[in-house]
Amino acid sequence: MKFQCWRNIVGRIHSVGQVFISKEQLHIELTNYVIARGFNWKYLKNDSVRLTVRCYVDVCPWRLHASVVREGPEFAIKSLNTIHSCGCDIMSDGHPRTSKKWVVNVVKGKLVDKPTYRASEMMRDIRRDYGISIPYHQAWWGKEVAVSSLYGDFRTSYHMLNWYSERALQSNLGSVLSLEVDPETQRFQRFFICFQASAYGFEVGCRPMLFLDGTHIKQHRVQGVILAASALNGNNVLFTVAYSITDSETYDNWALLSDRRIAFLSDRGKGLKEAIPDIFPNEHHGYCFQHIMQNFNDQCARRYAAPFKKLLRKILQRIAYAVTEQEYQDAMMATELNSADAKEWVLRNDVDHWSHACFPGQRFASSNTQAICCITFFHSCSYSWALHLL
């Protein structure tokens, strides 16, 4: 016996008179037992009232017979010969009884403690604990079935969103929760959540500035995008105001109620670029400088040699961080002197949305949405599992 935990498993089938709560439970224990001891069985009898199995090797005397107790569903072992003459304790790397169902039973307990348990970790643990190698697809499917049986099917949890929305509104008066489905296909389109407490916190405790960002939900094969609106509070700490789960990052409804003038900061994503002026025509929309710099690298600076590229990037930074008209003009002049192309690129790319000096609203010295990427990523993780827990 190579592995310690097998001793416990093998010990679970031990004697005549032993009772199991059902035939299915006996089957599970028997499967663990044969995997642990490294042999396979053959059925002699297998029906609703009896189970008789023997070792797969004909000459080996190992045999188990169990039958139903009175009306059931309990099953009891009536005869058992635990002696093998087939040399089954010499283990191989795989086992024919390590089915998807077996994997489910092995990992179910661990998935309760650790919902992010990955298929590759399952393979590693099974290898370590049982000495058995299972293929990745078997581990992956085993996990899928185990997750479904623990939390319900991921796709059908969307049906619970109506219920969740109603209950959340009842217990959080003044909140805005909106679930939208395609009127024809009834497919999920969008779920917007802004709790009253979050809106109030933004109103009284945060600067009038919203960071908008979206990220793809990658934790599960059910795809989608999570969009989050976050703010900075008086301590410069991020504060989530609202978020929305959508089928794609396009035009979205950022329905926030506020009397104040708000400055929006985003990555200049196509949907946001169109939606903000449309929904909030009087508000100012700043673009994340980190994304602007990335675009500049990709579209304009690529053709230059490294030292010159570095110089242009520095000048671009001067344009972004210029706080007076004079500083801005000086930086633009420096751009023109070095590269007419670069100046043209700057003018073409909405400089009044990302240079402090040109921006008509207040950015409170915030230039990028990098920190918000972390928040939206966090939401995407928690959302994947929230759906399971609904």
Q: How far is the CB of 106 from Zn ion (least distance, A)?
A: 23
Q: Is 80 in the site for Zn ion (CB under 5 A)?
A: no
* Angle between the N-to-C axes of helices 289-299 and 306-321, in degrees from 0 to 180, rounded to the nearest 10: 150
**158 contact partners, CB below 8 Å, separation of at least 6:** 188, 387
Residue 60, Cβ neighbours under 10 Å: how many?
17
> Which of the ranges 4-12, 39-47, 229-237, 323-331 carries the binding residues for Zn ion, by CB under 5 A?
39-47
**To the nearest whole angstrom, how small is the minimum distance from the Cβ of residue 89 to Zn ion?**
9
Contact predicate 189/203, CB 8 Å: no
Q: How far apart are CA 146 and CA 117, in angstroms?
A: 11
- List 65, 84, 97, 363, residue binding Zn ion (CB under 5 A): 84
Q: Which is nearer to Zn ion, 63 or 273 (CB)?
A: 63
CB of 85 to Zn ion, least distance (A): 7
Q: Which amino acid is at 90?
A: I
Regarding beta strands 50-55 and 238-246, do their DSSP bridges make them parallel or antiparallel, or are they unpaired?
unpaired
Closest to Zn ion by CB, 62 vs 243, is: 62
* Residue with Cβ nearer Zn ion (29 or 74): 29
Q: How far is the CB of 37 from Zn ion (least distance, A)?
A: 8
231: phi then psi, degrees, rounded to nearest 5: -130, 175
**How many Å apart are CA 365 and CA 353, to the nearest integer?**
13
Q: Which of 292, 272, 264, 295 has its CA nearest to residue 354?
A: 292
8 A C-beta contact, residue 350 and residue 361? no
Task: Name the minimum Å distance from CB 87 to Zn ion.
Answer: 8
Q: What's the one-letter identity of residue 366?
A: S
Shortest spacing between CB 55 and Zn ion, in angstroms: 3
Sole binder of Zn ion in the list 10, 60, 179, 381 (CB under 5 A)? 60
Q: Is 86 in the site for Zn ion (CB under 5 A)?
A: yes
Pick from 186, 193, 183: nearest CA to 155: 186
Asked if residue 177 lies in contact with residue 344, where contact means CB atoms within 8 angstroms, the answer is no
Q: Work out whether 55 is an interface residue with Zn ion (CB under 5 A).
A: yes
Among 41, 62, 287, 359, which residue sits at the site for Zn ion (rule: CB under 5 A)? 62
CA distance 341 to 149: 60
- Tell which residue, 375, 357, 356, has the closest CA to residue 365: 356
Q: Which stretch binds Zn ion (CB under 5 A): 11-19, 50-58, 153-161, 271-279?
A: 50-58
Q: Which is nearer to Zn ion, 37 or 268 (CB)?
A: 37
Q: Which CB sits closer to Zn ion, 53 or 55?
A: 55
Please report how close the Cβ of residue 4 comes to Zn ion at its closest, in angstroms. Answer: 23
Count of residues of this chain found to bind Zn ion when the rule CB under 5 A is applied = 7
- 69 neighbors 17 (Cβ within 8 angstroms): no
Q: Which stretch binds Zn ion (CB under 5 A): 78-86, 249-257, 337-345, 363-371?
A: 78-86
Q: Pick out residues in 96-155 that bind Zn ion (CB under 5 A).
A: none
Q: Which stretch binds Zn ion (CB under 5 A): 9-17, 35-43, 181-189, 294-302?
A: 35-43
Supply the minimum distance, in Å, between the C-beta of residue 59 and Zn ion.
9
SS3 363: coil
Interface positions with Zn ion (CB under 5 A): 39, 55, 60, 62, 84, 86, 88
